[in-house]
Amino acid sequence: MKLKKDLQSRKKLNKIRTINPPAAGRASEHRRVFFVYIDGSNFYHRIKKCGIEEKHFSYREFVNCLVGEPVENVKYYIGKVQAKKEDKKGQKLRAAQQARFAKLELAGFDIFKGRLLKVEGKYIEKGVDVRLGLDIAVDAIEDSYDEAFLISSDGDLAPAVEYAIKKKNKKIIYIAFEGSKFSYHLIQTASATRFVKTAELEKFVLKSE
Task: Write out pLDDT tens, residues 109-131.
Answer: 999 999 877 777 677 788 899 99
pLDDT over 70 percentage in the chain: 84
Q: Please answer whether residues 157 and 132 qualify as being in contact, where contact means their C-beta atoms are separated by less than 8 angstroms.
A: yes
Write down the pLDDT at residue 9: 45
**Which residues make beta-bridge pairs with 1?**
none
Question: Coil, helix or strand for 150?
Answer: strand
Closest CA to 46 of 203, 184, 152: 152
Around 28, how many Cα atoms within 13 Å sit in the side-chain half-sphere?
9
Domains along the chain with CATH numbers: 31-202 (3.40.50.1010)
* pTM greater than the 0.85 cutoff: no
